[in-house]
Structure 1
Amino acid sequence: MQAVIVAGGKGTRLRPLTYQMPKPMLPLFERPFLVFLVERCREAGITDIVINVHYQAHQIQQYFGDGSRFGVRIRYSIEESALDTAGAVKLAEPLFSGAPLVVFNADILTDLDLKALIAAHRSAGAVATIALTRVEDPTAFGLVELDSDDRVLAFREKPTAEEAARLGIDTVNAGTYVLEPHIFAPVPAATPWSFERQLFPGLLAAAQPVLGFVSSAYWLDIGNPAKYWQAHSDILTGHMPYSLAAREHRPGIWIAPNAEVDPQAQLEAPCYIGEYCRLGPQATIAAGTILGSASLVNRPLSAGLYPPGTMVP
Protein backbone atom coordinates (compact mmCIF):
# COMPACT_ATOMS: atom_id res chain seq x y z
CA MET A 1 0.00 0.00 0.00
CA GLN A 2 0.98 3.60 -0.56
CA ALA A 3 -0.41 6.70 1.16
CA VAL A 4 -1.16 10.12 -0.30
CA ILE A 5 -1.87 12.92 2.18
CA VAL A 6 -3.58 15.94 0.63
CA ALA A 7 -2.06 18.81 2.62
CA GLY A 8 -1.88 21.73 0.20
CA GLY A 9 -4.87 23.82 1.26
CA LYS A 10 -4.56 27.37 2.62
CA GLY A 11 -6.74 26.69 5.65
CA THR A 12 -8.76 29.87 5.12
CA ARG A 13 -11.42 28.79 7.63
CA LEU A 14 -8.75 28.63 10.33
CA ARG A 15 -7.40 32.14 9.86
CA PRO A 16 -5.68 33.89 11.57
CA LEU A 17 -4.01 30.69 12.83
CA THR A 18 -2.96 29.76 9.29
CA TYR A 19 -1.61 33.11 8.11
CA GLN A 20 1.96 31.93 8.70
CA MET A 21 1.53 28.18 9.05
CA PRO A 22 -0.06 25.50 6.84
CA LYS A 23 -3.16 23.95 8.38
CA PRO A 24 -1.68 20.43 8.78
CA MET A 25 1.20 21.87 10.80
CA LEU A 26 -1.04 23.43 13.45
CA PRO A 27 -0.20 21.77 16.76
CA LEU A 28 -2.42 19.23 18.41
CA PHE A 29 -1.11 19.17 21.97
CA GLU A 30 2.22 20.63 20.83
CA ARG A 31 2.76 18.22 17.93
CA PRO A 32 1.92 19.13 14.32
CA PHE A 33 -1.31 17.41 13.31
CA LEU A 34 0.45 16.01 10.24
CA VAL A 35 2.69 13.95 12.55
CA PHE A 36 -0.43 12.16 13.76
CA LEU A 37 -1.36 11.24 10.17
CA VAL A 38 2.14 10.00 9.33
CA GLU A 39 2.23 7.87 12.47
CA ARG A 40 -1.18 6.40 11.66
CA CYS A 41 0.18 5.30 8.29
CA ARG A 42 3.22 3.67 9.87
CA GLU A 43 1.11 1.88 12.47
CA ALA A 44 -1.05 0.46 9.66
CA GLY A 45 2.06 -0.82 7.87
CA ILE A 46 2.10 1.91 5.22
CA THR A 47 5.60 3.33 5.00
CA ASP A 48 5.62 4.78 1.46
CA ILE A 49 3.99 8.22 1.76
CA VAL A 50 3.48 11.05 -0.70
CA ILE A 51 2.50 14.40 0.78
CA ASN A 52 0.78 16.90 -1.51
CA VAL A 53 1.96 20.41 -0.57
CA HIS A 54 1.18 23.90 -1.79
CA TYR A 55 0.65 26.65 0.81
CA GLN A 56 3.77 27.20 2.96
CA ALA A 57 5.12 23.98 1.48
CA HIS A 58 8.64 24.55 2.78
CA GLN A 59 7.49 24.26 6.39
CA ILE A 60 6.21 20.73 5.83
CA GLN A 61 9.24 19.70 3.77
CA GLN A 62 11.72 21.05 6.31
CA TYR A 63 9.96 19.41 9.25
CA PHE A 64 9.51 15.93 7.77
CA GLY A 65 12.42 15.71 5.33
CA ASP A 66 12.64 12.26 3.78
CA GLY A 67 10.57 10.76 6.60
CA SER A 68 13.36 8.59 8.03
CA ARG A 69 13.01 10.28 11.43
CA PHE A 70 9.45 8.91 11.53
CA GLY A 71 10.26 5.43 10.24
CA VAL A 72 8.75 6.01 6.79
CA ARG A 73 9.71 7.20 3.31
CA ILE A 74 8.22 10.59 2.38
CA ARG A 75 8.21 12.27 -1.01
CA TYR A 76 6.46 15.46 -2.02
CA SER A 77 4.09 16.45 -4.79
CA ILE A 78 4.13 20.24 -5.12
CA GLU A 79 1.09 22.11 -6.42
CA GLU A 80 1.92 25.33 -8.21
CA SER A 81 -1.78 26.25 -8.28
CA ALA A 82 -4.75 24.76 -6.45
CA LEU A 83 -6.02 21.57 -8.13
CA ASP A 84 -8.81 20.51 -5.74
CA THR A 85 -8.78 17.11 -4.05
CA ALA A 86 -8.61 14.59 -6.92
CA GLY A 87 -6.49 16.93 -9.04
CA ALA A 88 -3.94 17.12 -6.23
CA VAL A 89 -3.67 13.32 -6.08
CA LYS A 90 -3.46 13.16 -9.90
CA LEU A 91 -0.43 15.46 -9.69
CA ALA A 92 1.34 12.81 -7.60
CA GLU A 93 0.79 10.16 -10.30
CA PRO A 94 4.50 10.01 -11.33
CA LEU A 95 5.24 8.87 -7.76
CA PHE A 96 2.65 6.09 -7.70
CA SER A 97 4.10 2.63 -7.11
CA GLY A 98 1.17 0.79 -8.69
CA ALA A 99 -0.12 -0.38 -5.30
CA PRO A 100 -3.52 0.75 -4.00
CA LEU A 101 -3.52 4.24 -2.50
CA VAL A 102 -4.77 5.20 0.95
CA VAL A 103 -5.71 8.87 0.57
CA PHE A 104 -6.19 11.25 3.49
CA ASN A 105 -7.58 14.74 3.77
CA ALA A 106 -5.19 16.49 6.15
CA ASP A 107 -7.88 18.11 8.30
CA ILE A 108 -9.69 15.01 9.59
CA LEU A 109 -9.09 13.71 13.11
CA THR A 110 -10.24 10.10 13.41
CA ASP A 111 -9.32 6.75 14.91
CA LEU A 112 -10.72 4.92 11.88
CA ASP A 113 -9.35 1.36 11.61
CA LEU A 114 -7.21 1.65 8.47
CA LYS A 115 -6.45 -2.07 8.33
CA ALA A 116 -10.18 -2.87 8.33
CA LEU A 117 -10.78 -0.25 5.62
CA ILE A 118 -8.07 -1.77 3.42
CA ALA A 119 -9.34 -5.31 4.02
CA ALA A 120 -12.88 -4.32 3.02
CA HIS A 121 -11.58 -2.72 -0.18
CA ARG A 122 -9.68 -5.85 -1.16
CA SER A 123 -12.52 -8.19 -0.26
CA ALA A 124 -15.06 -6.23 -2.32
CA GLY A 125 -12.84 -5.92 -5.38
CA ALA A 126 -13.69 -2.22 -5.50
CA VAL A 127 -11.84 0.39 -7.52
CA ALA A 128 -12.59 2.93 -4.78
CA THR A 129 -13.59 2.57 -1.13
CA ILE A 130 -14.87 5.61 0.73
CA ALA A 131 -14.86 5.76 4.52
CA LEU A 132 -18.25 6.99 5.72
CA THR A 133 -19.51 8.26 9.04
CA ARG A 134 -23.02 8.78 10.36
CA VAL A 135 -24.09 12.29 11.43
CA GLU A 136 -27.09 13.53 13.38
CA ASP A 137 -27.62 16.56 11.14
CA PRO A 138 -26.90 15.65 7.52
CA THR A 139 -27.99 19.03 6.10
CA ALA A 140 -24.43 20.38 6.28
CA PHE A 141 -22.98 17.53 4.23
CA GLY A 142 -23.26 15.75 0.93
CA LEU A 143 -24.84 12.36 1.53
CA VAL A 144 -23.67 8.99 0.21
CA GLU A 145 -26.41 6.47 -0.61
CA LEU A 146 -25.60 2.74 -0.32
CA ASP A 147 -27.26 -0.49 -1.35
CA SER A 148 -27.65 -3.51 0.95
CA ASP A 149 -24.08 -4.64 0.11
CA ASP A 150 -22.60 -1.22 0.96
CA ARG A 151 -21.97 -0.41 -2.70
CA VAL A 152 -22.35 3.30 -3.42
CA LEU A 153 -25.48 4.09 -5.42
CA ALA A 154 -25.41 7.88 -5.51
CA PHE A 155 -23.94 11.06 -4.12
CA ARG A 156 -26.51 13.61 -3.01
CA GLU A 157 -25.84 17.30 -2.46
CA LYS A 158 -26.57 18.92 0.89
CA PRO A 159 -30.24 18.13 1.56
CA THR A 160 -32.83 20.13 3.43
CA ALA A 161 -34.04 18.62 6.69
CA GLU A 162 -37.20 17.43 4.93
CA GLU A 163 -35.22 15.81 2.12
CA ALA A 164 -32.88 14.10 4.58
CA ALA A 165 -35.83 12.69 6.51
CA ARG A 166 -37.46 11.46 3.32
CA LEU A 167 -34.27 9.84 2.04
CA GLY A 168 -33.45 8.24 5.38
CA ILE A 169 -29.71 8.65 4.71
CA ASP A 170 -27.23 9.83 7.35
CA THR A 171 -23.91 8.59 5.90
CA VAL A 172 -21.39 11.22 4.78
CA ASN A 173 -17.93 11.16 3.25
CA ALA A 174 -15.36 10.89 6.06
CA GLY A 175 -12.36 12.00 3.97
CA THR A 176 -10.32 8.78 3.88
CA TYR A 177 -10.21 6.55 0.79
CA VAL A 178 -8.60 3.43 -0.63
CA LEU A 179 -8.21 3.86 -4.38
CA GLU A 180 -6.83 1.82 -7.25
CA PRO A 181 -4.30 4.09 -8.99
CA HIS A 182 -5.61 3.41 -12.50
CA ILE A 183 -8.78 5.43 -11.80
CA PHE A 184 -6.69 8.60 -12.14
CA ALA A 185 -5.73 7.86 -15.76
CA PRO A 186 -8.78 9.69 -17.22
CA VAL A 187 -8.37 12.71 -14.92
CA PRO A 188 -6.96 15.62 -16.95
CA ALA A 189 -3.51 16.76 -15.84
CA ALA A 190 -3.00 20.16 -14.21
CA THR A 191 -6.77 20.66 -13.95
CA PRO A 192 -8.80 21.23 -10.78
CA TRP A 193 -10.76 18.02 -10.18
CA SER A 194 -12.94 16.98 -7.26
CA PHE A 195 -13.43 13.56 -5.70
CA GLU A 196 -16.99 14.29 -4.63
CA ARG A 197 -18.27 16.18 -7.67
CA GLN A 198 -16.32 14.59 -10.53
CA LEU A 199 -14.15 11.53 -9.92
CA PHE A 200 -16.48 9.41 -7.79
CA PRO A 201 -19.68 10.23 -9.74
CA GLY A 202 -17.74 9.44 -12.92
CA LEU A 203 -16.87 5.99 -11.58
CA LEU A 204 -20.54 5.32 -10.83
CA ALA A 205 -21.56 6.49 -14.30
CA ALA A 206 -19.05 4.01 -15.74
CA ALA A 207 -20.53 1.21 -13.57
CA GLN A 208 -17.28 0.83 -11.63
CA PRO A 209 -17.58 -0.78 -8.15
CA VAL A 210 -17.37 1.87 -5.43
CA LEU A 211 -17.65 0.66 -1.83
CA GLY A 212 -18.86 2.59 1.18
CA PHE A 213 -17.18 1.63 4.45
CA VAL A 214 -19.42 2.79 7.30
CA SER A 215 -17.56 3.27 10.56
CA SER A 216 -18.57 4.30 14.07
CA ALA A 217 -15.03 5.56 14.76
CA TYR A 218 -14.45 9.02 16.17
CA TRP A 219 -14.48 11.60 13.35
CA LEU A 220 -14.02 15.37 13.32
CA ASP A 221 -13.23 17.90 10.60
CA ILE A 222 -10.87 20.30 12.40
CA GLY A 223 -10.94 22.91 9.64
CA ASN A 224 -12.33 25.83 11.67
CA PRO A 225 -11.39 27.33 15.07
CA ALA A 226 -14.36 25.85 16.92
CA LYS A 227 -13.62 22.34 15.67
CA TYR A 228 -9.88 22.76 16.24
CA TRP A 229 -10.68 23.59 19.85
CA GLN A 230 -13.14 20.68 20.06
CA ALA A 231 -10.41 18.26 18.94
CA HIS A 232 -8.33 19.19 21.99
CA SER A 233 -11.33 18.95 24.29
CA ASP A 234 -12.38 15.55 22.93
CA ILE A 235 -8.88 14.17 23.45
CA LEU A 236 -8.72 15.48 27.02
CA THR A 237 -12.10 13.93 27.85
CA GLY A 238 -11.19 10.58 26.26
CA HIS A 239 -13.60 10.71 23.33
CA MET A 240 -10.71 10.49 20.86
CA PRO A 241 -7.79 8.13 21.68
CA TYR A 242 -4.52 10.07 21.46
CA SER A 243 -1.11 9.65 23.03
CA LEU A 244 -0.26 12.74 25.10
CA ALA A 245 3.35 13.62 25.90
CA ALA A 246 2.38 14.37 29.48
CA ARG A 247 1.56 12.60 32.74
CA GLU A 248 -1.94 12.43 34.20
CA HIS A 249 -1.32 13.69 37.75
CA ARG A 250 -4.97 13.36 38.66
CA PRO A 251 -7.92 12.24 36.54
CA GLY A 252 -8.08 14.71 33.67
CA ILE A 253 -5.10 16.81 34.84
CA TRP A 254 -2.28 16.41 32.32
CA ILE A 255 1.09 18.05 33.02
CA ALA A 256 4.14 17.82 30.76
CA PRO A 257 7.35 16.47 32.36
CA ASN A 258 9.26 19.77 32.41
CA ALA A 259 6.41 21.99 33.64
CA GLU A 260 6.62 23.57 37.11
CA VAL A 261 3.37 23.82 39.05
CA ASP A 262 3.28 25.50 42.46
CA PRO A 263 1.55 23.31 45.08
CA GLN A 264 -0.94 26.14 45.76
CA ALA A 265 -2.01 26.43 42.11
CA GLN A 266 -5.57 25.31 41.47
CA LEU A 267 -6.16 23.04 38.44
CA GLU A 268 -9.60 21.89 37.35
CA ALA A 269 -10.11 18.83 35.15
CA PRO A 270 -9.83 18.46 32.27
CA CYS A 271 -6.79 20.58 31.47
CA TYR A 272 -3.35 20.29 29.90
CA ILE A 273 -0.17 22.09 30.96
CA GLY A 274 2.51 22.12 28.28
CA GLU A 275 6.29 21.77 28.33
CA TYR A 276 8.30 24.29 30.40
CA CYS A 277 5.20 26.06 31.69
CA ARG A 278 5.38 27.71 35.10
CA LEU A 279 2.29 28.08 37.28
CA GLY A 280 2.61 30.30 40.34
CA PRO A 281 0.74 30.03 43.63
CA GLN A 282 -2.10 32.29 42.49
CA ALA A 283 -2.71 30.42 39.25
CA THR A 284 -6.18 28.97 38.75
CA ILE A 285 -6.58 26.86 35.62
CA ALA A 286 -10.20 26.41 34.60
CA ALA A 287 -11.55 23.15 33.21
CA GLY A 288 -11.10 22.99 29.46
CA THR A 289 -7.77 24.87 29.39
CA ILE A 290 -4.94 23.81 27.07
CA LEU A 291 -1.82 25.78 27.94
CA GLY A 292 0.92 25.86 25.32
CA SER A 293 4.61 25.38 26.09
CA ALA A 294 6.79 27.94 27.91
CA SER A 295 3.81 29.82 29.32
CA LEU A 296 3.79 31.70 32.64
CA VAL A 297 0.60 31.94 34.70
CA ASN A 298 0.11 33.37 38.18
CA ARG A 299 -3.55 34.37 38.24
CA PRO A 300 -6.91 32.86 37.23
CA LEU A 301 -7.06 31.64 33.64
CA SER A 302 -10.35 30.94 31.89
CA ALA A 303 -10.96 27.89 29.70
CA GLY A 304 -9.46 28.08 26.24
CA LEU A 305 -6.62 27.16 23.93
CA TYR A 306 -3.53 29.23 24.77
CA PRO A 307 -0.56 29.43 22.37
CA PRO A 308 3.02 28.75 23.46
CA GLY A 309 4.60 31.56 25.43
CA THR A 310 1.37 32.88 26.96
CA MET A 311 2.15 35.29 29.81
CA VAL A 312 -0.42 35.85 32.57
CA PRO A 313 1.72 37.22 35.46
Structure 2
Amino acid sequence: MRAMILAAGLGTRMRPLTDHTPKPLLRAGGKALIDYHIEKLAAAGICNIVVNCSWLADQLEEYLGDGSRYGVRIFVSREEEPLETGGGIVQALPLLCEDGGDDPFLVVNGDIWTDFDFASLRDIHPVAGHLVMIKNPPHNPQGDFALGENNVLAEKAGANEGTYTFSGISVWRPSVFSGFVCGKRALKPIMDAAIANKALSGQLYEGHWWDIGTPERLAALDAFLAL
Protein backbone atom coordinates (compact mmCIF):
# COMPACT_ATOMS: atom_id res chain seq x y z
CA MET A 1 0.00 0.00 0.00
CA ARG A 2 1.13 3.53 -0.80
CA ALA A 3 0.06 6.59 1.14
CA MET A 4 -0.46 10.28 0.49
CA ILE A 5 -0.09 13.06 3.03
CA LEU A 6 -2.10 16.14 2.08
CA ALA A 7 0.19 19.08 2.77
CA ALA A 8 -0.54 21.68 0.09
CA GLY A 9 -2.88 24.00 1.99
CA LEU A 10 -2.16 27.68 2.55
CA GLY A 11 -2.62 27.42 6.32
CA THR A 12 -4.69 30.60 6.34
CA ARG A 13 -6.30 29.92 9.72
CA MET A 14 -2.87 29.33 11.26
CA ARG A 15 -1.49 32.77 10.46
CA PRO A 16 0.79 34.36 11.49
CA LEU A 17 2.52 31.02 12.22
CA THR A 18 2.30 30.02 8.56
CA ASP A 19 3.43 33.33 7.08
CA HIS A 20 6.95 31.96 6.75
CA THR A 21 6.53 28.26 7.60
CA PRO A 22 4.37 25.70 5.80
CA LYS A 23 1.81 24.22 8.18
CA PRO A 24 3.23 20.65 8.06
CA LEU A 25 6.50 22.00 9.49
CA LEU A 26 4.90 23.67 12.50
CA ARG A 27 6.03 21.91 15.66
CA ALA A 28 4.27 20.23 18.56
CA GLY A 29 5.84 17.97 21.15
CA GLY A 30 9.29 18.79 19.77
CA LYS A 31 8.58 17.53 16.22
CA ALA A 32 7.24 18.88 12.96
CA LEU A 33 3.63 17.81 12.48
CA ILE A 34 4.44 15.87 9.32
CA ASP A 35 7.08 13.82 11.16
CA TYR A 36 4.37 12.09 13.20
CA HIS A 37 2.55 10.87 10.09
CA ILE A 38 5.67 9.70 8.30
CA GLU A 39 6.97 7.84 11.35
CA LYS A 40 3.60 6.15 11.93
CA LEU A 41 3.31 5.17 8.27
CA ALA A 42 6.83 3.73 8.34
CA ALA A 43 5.99 1.78 11.51
CA ALA A 44 2.94 0.39 9.69
CA GLY A 45 5.14 -0.88 6.87
CA ILE A 46 3.93 1.76 4.41
CA CYS A 47 7.19 2.96 2.94
CA ASN A 48 6.19 4.70 -0.32
CA ILE A 49 4.70 8.05 0.60
CA VAL A 50 3.50 10.86 -1.65
CA VAL A 51 3.38 14.38 -0.19
CA ASN A 52 1.71 17.18 -2.10
CA CYS A 53 2.92 20.71 -1.48
CA SER A 54 2.29 24.23 -2.70
CA TRP A 55 2.65 27.05 -0.14
CA LEU A 56 6.36 27.49 0.70
CA ALA A 57 6.95 24.21 -1.14
CA ASP A 58 10.74 24.64 -1.29
CA GLN A 59 10.96 24.53 2.50
CA LEU A 60 8.90 21.37 2.73
CA GLU A 61 10.78 19.59 -0.07
CA GLU A 62 14.14 20.44 1.45
CA TYR A 63 13.01 19.27 4.89
CA LEU A 64 11.66 15.93 3.66
CA GLY A 65 14.40 15.05 1.22
CA ASP A 66 14.01 11.62 -0.34
CA GLY A 67 12.65 10.13 2.87
CA SER A 68 15.72 8.02 3.62
CA ARG A 69 16.18 9.49 7.10
CA TYR A 70 12.73 8.10 7.96
CA GLY A 71 13.41 4.75 6.29
CA VAL A 72 10.87 5.44 3.53
CA ARG A 73 10.73 6.80 -0.01
CA ILE A 74 9.06 10.18 -0.37
CA PHE A 75 7.65 11.40 -3.68
CA VAL A 76 6.65 15.05 -3.92
CA SER A 77 3.65 16.18 -5.95
CA ARG A 78 4.08 19.92 -6.34
CA GLU A 79 1.08 22.14 -7.07
CA GLU A 80 1.54 25.63 -8.48
CA GLU A 81 -1.59 26.56 -6.54
CA PRO A 82 -3.46 24.33 -4.08
CA LEU A 83 -5.74 21.98 -6.02
CA GLU A 84 -7.91 21.02 -3.01
CA THR A 85 -8.09 17.43 -1.83
CA GLY A 86 -9.67 15.83 -4.88
CA GLY A 87 -7.50 17.72 -7.34
CA GLY A 88 -4.36 16.95 -5.35
CA ILE A 89 -5.12 13.22 -5.43
CA VAL A 90 -5.86 13.30 -9.17
CA GLN A 91 -2.51 14.97 -9.90
CA ALA A 92 -0.63 12.54 -7.66
CA LEU A 93 -2.38 9.44 -9.03
CA PRO A 94 0.57 8.29 -11.19
CA LEU A 95 2.72 8.27 -8.04
CA LEU A 96 0.09 6.38 -6.05
CA CYS A 97 -0.43 3.53 -8.52
CA GLU A 98 2.73 3.16 -10.56
CA ASP A 99 1.72 -0.22 -11.98
CA GLY A 100 -1.59 1.13 -13.27
CA GLY A 101 -3.56 -1.28 -11.08
CA ASP A 102 -6.40 -0.57 -8.70
CA ASP A 103 -4.79 -1.44 -5.37
CA PRO A 104 -6.06 0.88 -2.62
CA PHE A 105 -3.96 3.73 -1.26
CA LEU A 106 -4.18 5.57 2.05
CA VAL A 107 -4.73 9.33 2.34
CA VAL A 108 -4.21 11.37 5.51
CA ASN A 109 -4.66 15.08 6.10
CA GLY A 110 -1.44 16.78 7.06
CA ASP A 111 -3.13 19.03 9.60
CA ILE A 112 -4.32 16.38 12.04
CA TRP A 113 -2.57 14.50 14.84
CA THR A 114 -3.74 11.06 15.92
CA ASP A 115 -2.61 7.84 17.55
CA PHE A 116 -4.62 5.83 15.02
CA ASP A 117 -2.76 2.73 13.80
CA PHE A 118 -2.36 3.04 10.03
CA ALA A 119 -1.43 -0.65 9.82
CA SER A 120 -5.08 -1.51 10.51
CA LEU A 121 -5.99 -0.11 7.07
CA ARG A 122 -3.62 -2.29 5.07
CA ASP A 123 -6.22 -5.03 4.72
CA ILE A 124 -9.07 -2.69 3.79
CA HIS A 125 -10.27 -3.28 0.21
CA PRO A 126 -13.18 -0.90 -0.30
CA VAL A 127 -15.60 -0.83 -3.20
CA ALA A 128 -14.64 2.81 -3.77
CA GLY A 129 -13.42 4.34 -0.50
CA HIS A 130 -13.28 3.81 3.24
CA LEU A 131 -13.31 6.64 5.78
CA VAL A 132 -12.16 6.65 9.38
CA MET A 133 -14.79 8.53 11.37
CA ILE A 134 -14.64 10.09 14.83
CA LYS A 135 -17.18 11.35 17.32
CA ASN A 136 -18.19 14.91 16.47
CA PRO A 137 -15.73 17.46 17.89
CA PRO A 138 -16.88 20.87 19.18
CA HIS A 139 -16.00 22.58 15.90
CA ASN A 140 -18.20 20.18 13.87
CA PRO A 141 -21.14 19.25 16.12
CA GLN A 142 -23.45 18.24 13.24
CA GLY A 143 -21.02 15.66 11.85
CA ASP A 144 -20.45 14.76 8.21
CA PHE A 145 -21.95 11.34 7.47
CA ALA A 146 -24.06 8.65 9.10
CA LEU A 147 -22.50 5.25 9.75
CA GLY A 148 -25.13 2.66 8.89
CA GLU A 149 -25.51 -1.08 8.71
CA ASN A 150 -22.50 -3.12 7.59
CA ASN A 151 -20.37 0.01 8.07
CA VAL A 152 -21.77 1.63 4.93
CA LEU A 153 -21.75 5.43 5.05
CA ALA A 154 -24.85 7.45 4.25
CA GLU A 155 -25.80 11.11 4.09
CA LYS A 156 -26.63 12.39 7.54
CA ALA A 157 -30.30 12.58 8.42
CA GLY A 158 -32.06 15.29 10.41
CA ALA A 159 -31.01 13.92 13.80
CA ASN A 160 -27.37 13.73 14.79
CA GLU A 161 -27.60 10.26 16.29
CA GLY A 162 -25.34 7.89 14.38
CA THR A 163 -23.67 10.81 12.61
CA TYR A 164 -19.91 11.22 12.81
CA THR A 165 -17.10 13.44 11.56
CA PHE A 166 -14.60 12.47 8.88
CA SER A 167 -11.18 12.23 10.53
CA GLY A 168 -9.14 13.05 7.43
CA ILE A 169 -7.92 9.44 7.18
CA SER A 170 -9.19 7.35 4.28
CA VAL A 171 -8.46 4.56 1.83
CA TRP A 172 -9.35 4.87 -1.87
CA ARG A 173 -9.31 2.91 -5.09
CA PRO A 174 -7.36 4.68 -7.86
CA SER A 175 -10.24 4.02 -10.26
CA VAL A 176 -12.38 6.50 -8.29
CA PHE A 177 -10.13 9.33 -9.53
CA SER A 178 -8.88 8.01 -12.86
CA GLY A 179 -11.60 9.65 -14.96
CA PHE A 180 -10.87 13.21 -13.82
CA VAL A 181 -8.61 15.74 -15.52
CA CYS A 182 -6.06 17.64 -13.43
CA GLY A 183 -7.33 20.81 -11.83
CA LYS A 184 -8.87 22.17 -8.66
CA ARG A 185 -11.40 19.70 -7.28
CA ALA A 186 -13.03 19.14 -3.90
CA LEU A 187 -13.31 15.66 -2.41
CA LYS A 188 -16.84 16.03 -1.01
CA PRO A 189 -18.68 15.56 -4.34
CA ILE A 190 -16.60 12.43 -4.96
CA MET A 191 -17.62 11.13 -1.54
CA ASP A 192 -21.26 11.96 -2.24
CA ALA A 193 -21.18 10.03 -5.52
CA ALA A 194 -19.67 7.01 -3.78
CA ILE A 195 -22.32 7.21 -1.05
CA ALA A 196 -25.08 7.32 -3.68
CA ASN A 197 -23.68 4.05 -5.06
CA LYS A 198 -23.37 2.56 -1.56
CA ALA A 199 -19.65 2.24 -2.28
CA LEU A 200 -18.26 4.23 0.66
CA SER A 201 -17.63 2.37 3.89
CA GLY A 202 -16.41 3.61 7.25
CA GLN A 203 -15.34 2.79 10.75
CA LEU A 204 -15.49 4.66 14.04
CA TYR A 205 -12.27 5.50 15.85
CA GLU A 206 -12.46 6.60 19.47
CA GLY A 207 -8.78 7.18 20.26
CA HIS A 208 -6.85 10.45 20.31
CA TRP A 209 -7.44 12.77 17.36
CA TRP A 210 -6.72 16.47 16.95
CA ASP A 211 -7.63 18.85 14.16
CA ILE A 212 -4.83 21.39 14.13
CA GLY A 213 -6.72 24.20 12.46
CA THR A 214 -5.80 27.16 14.66
CA PRO A 215 -2.78 28.36 16.65
CA GLU A 216 -4.77 27.66 19.82
CA ARG A 217 -5.31 24.00 18.87
CA LEU A 218 -1.62 23.65 18.01
CA ALA A 219 -0.71 25.01 21.44
CA ALA A 220 -3.18 22.62 23.08
CA LEU A 221 -1.66 19.67 21.21
CA ASP A 222 1.84 20.76 22.22
CA ALA A 223 0.73 20.82 25.87
CA PHE A 224 -0.92 17.40 25.52
CA LEU A 225 2.21 15.84 24.01
CA ALA A 226 4.29 17.29 26.85
CA LEU A 227 2.34 15.31 29.45
TM-score norm. by structure 2 comes to 0.91
Contact kept, 8 Å, 2:29 with 2:223, in 1: the verdict is no
Give the Cα separation in 1 of the matches to 2:142 and 2:65.
35
Give the Cα separation in 2 of the matches to 1:92 and 1:136.
30
Aligned length: 223
Q: Deviations over 1:42-86 (max 9, x none)?
A: 011000011000000111111111111110001110111221111
Aligned-residue sequence identity (percent) comes to 30
Give the Cα separation in 2 of the matches to 1:82 and 1:112.
27
Q: Deviations over 1:222-266 (max 9, x none)?
A: 1201110111122223xxxxxxxxxxxxxxxxxxxxxxxxxxxxx
Structure 2 equivalent of residue 5 of structure 1: 5
Q: Deviations over 1:78-124 (max 9, x none)?
A: 111221111111110121224321101100100112122333x23xx
Structure whose CA Rg is larger: 1
SS at the partner of 1:50?
Answer: strand
Give the Cα separation in 2 of the matches to 1:84 and 1:141.
23
Give the Cα separation in 2 of the matches to 1:136 and 1:86.
24
Q: Confirm or deny that 1:101 pairs with 2:94.
A: no
Q: Deviations over 1:2-51 (max 9, x none)?
A: 01111011111111010000000011233211111111110110000110
Contact kept, 8 Å, 1:11 with 1:22, in 2: the verdict is yes
Shift of the alpha carbon at 1:186? Answer: 2.5
Q: RMSD of the TM alignment (CA)? A: 1.8
Compare the two structures and name the one with the higher strand fraction.
1
Contact kept, 8 Å, 1:25 with 1:60, in 2: the verdict is yes
- Cα 1:44–1:141 change in 2 (3 A) is farther
Structure 2 equivalent of residue 31 of structure 1: 31
Higher mean Cα deviation, 167-176 or 60-69? 167-176
TM-score norm. by structure 1 comes to 0.67
Structure 2 equivalent of residue 290 of structure 1: none
Structure 1 equivalent of residue 128 of structure 2: 127
The 5-angstrom pairing of residues 1-313 of structure 1 reads 1-97=1-97, 98=101, 99-119=103-123, 121-122=124-125, 125-135=126-136, 137=138, 139-140=140-141, 142-154=143-155, 163=158, 166-190=159-183, 192-196=184-188, 198-205=189-196, 207-237=197-227
Amino acid at match of 1:153: A
Contact kept, 8 Å, 2:5 with 2:49, in 1: the verdict is yes
SS at the partner of 1:176?
Answer: strand
Contact kept, 8 Å, 1:143 with 1:169, in 2: the verdict is no
Contact kept, 8 Å, 1:14 with 1:224, in 2: the verdict is yes
Give the Cα separation in 2 of the matches to 1:116 and 1:93.
23
- Cα 1:72–1:176 change in 2 (3 A) is same
**Larger RCO, structure (CA 8 Å, separation 6 or more):** 2
Structure 2: gaps of 5 or more residues: none
